């Protein structure tokens, strides 16, 4: 089924962070974080383990609150913007042995805070089927979630996030359960979704991301944001990884010698 949303151009800052700080048990995790994300971006959040990538994502989602600073998502303070956001966490806790169909998993996306638990409407079902079709999974509606491969399950989890027609899609390490062969197809799918949805993804798959993303935020307590799909010298210094690991797949960037 074709996309019903118009393909947009970059128009406005859809996410804004200004001087954001956050600590766990008195230990600083993020410091002086300030950057804007424009509508239509495909933003990759990269950085070393423990650098604060997932924490930054949770702050933008409103799952945690900053110690200081301001965050606005679609003009609202999180989590007031949650009706316009789709989120796929790193670990989706669904018992693979539980006899639930992929369609029922996607329909879970209709369960919002404050909505009474009731039978799903005909519109809920139509929207769920449309989201499944958008993910190329319309032949798996009656399959149990435990029967799917890692890549297929991830497509269903994204369909669950898309069923409310969000403006922004957040994903935390979305390819962690997908084999290498399926990762390229997965990011091609995200690139297609990015025609009508702003995407923010935490990932280590820099080689796969390089031909899909539009901007990068490198996180290691502080955030270096770059509004182009290239790795800068500052990011290399923050990332603390071999240059070869970062540079491969970014042919337009000449990195300094180490």
Q: What is the residue-level pLDDT of the chain in tens, covering all 258 positions?
A: 444 444 444 458 999 999 999 999 989 999 999 999 999 999 999 888 889 999 999 999 999 999 999 999 999 999 888 889 999 988 766 666 777 899 999 998 887 644 554 567 888 889 999 999 999 898 899 899 888 888 888 899 999 999 989 999 999 988 877 777 778 788 888 888 999 999 999 987 666 666 788 888 889 999 988 877 665 566 556 555 433 334 334 333 333 332
Cβ neighbour number for residue 68 with a 10 Å cutoff: 10
From 236, 226, 232, select the one nearest 253 (Cα to Cα).
232
From 159, 168, 184, 140, select the one nearest 92 (Cα to Cα).
159
Residues 6 or more apart whose Cβ sits within 8 Å of residue 45: 53, 56, 57, 200, 201, 202, 203, 216, 217, 219
**β-pair partners for 87:** 170
- The first and second tokens of residue 111, run together, are 């369960």
Instruction: State whether residue 87 is helix, strand or coil.
Output: strand
Q: Is 233 left (phi over 0), alpha (psi -120 to 50) or beta?
A: alpha
For the chain, domains (ranges, CATH) are 13-91+168-247 (3.40.50.300)
Provide the terminal-to-terminal Cα distance of the chain, rounded to the nearest Å. Answer: 50
For 44, phi then psi, to 5°, come to -100, 125
CA max distance for the chain: 61
DSSP 52: S
Residues 6 or more apart whose Cβ sits within 8 Å of residue 55: 22, 29, 30, 64
- The DSSP code sequence of 165-227 is --SEEEEESTTTTS-HHHHHHHHHHHHHHTTTSEEEEE-S-HHHHTTT-SEEEEEESEEEEES
Cβ neighbour number for residue 212 with a 10 Å cutoff: 20
């Amino acid at each position: 089924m074709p996309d019903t949303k118009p393909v947009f151009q970059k128009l406005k800052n859809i996410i804004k962070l200004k001087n954001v700080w956050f600590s766990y048990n008195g230990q600083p995790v993020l410091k002086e974080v300030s950057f804007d994300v424009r509508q239509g971006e495909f933003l990759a959040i990269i950085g070393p383990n423990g650098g604060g990538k997932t924490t930054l994502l949770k702050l933008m989602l409103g799952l945690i609150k900053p110690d200081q600073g301001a965050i606005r998502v679609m003009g609202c303070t999180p989590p007031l913007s949650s009706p316009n956001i789709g989120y796929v966490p790193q670990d989706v806790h669904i018992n693979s042995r539980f006899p639930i169909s992929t369609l029922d998993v996607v329909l879970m996306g209709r369960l919002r805070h404050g909505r009474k638990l009731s039978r799903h409407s005909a519109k809920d079902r139509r929207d769920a089927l449309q989201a499944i079709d958008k993910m190329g999974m319309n032949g798996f509606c009656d399959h149990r979630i435990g029967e799917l491969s890692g890549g297929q399950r991830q497509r269903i989890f994204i369909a669950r996030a898309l069923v409310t027609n969000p403006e922004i899609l957040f994903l935390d390490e979305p390819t962690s359960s997908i084999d290498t062969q399926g990762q390229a197809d997965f990011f091609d799918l995200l690139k297609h979704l990015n025609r009508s949805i702003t995407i923010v993804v935490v990932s280590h798959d820099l080689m796969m991301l390089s031909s899909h993303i539009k901007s990068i935020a490198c996180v290691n307590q502080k955030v270096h944001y770059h509004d182009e799909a290239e790795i800068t010298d500052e990011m290399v210094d923050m990332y603390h990884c071999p240059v070869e690991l970062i540079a491969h797949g970014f042919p337009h960037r000449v990195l300094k010698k180490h």
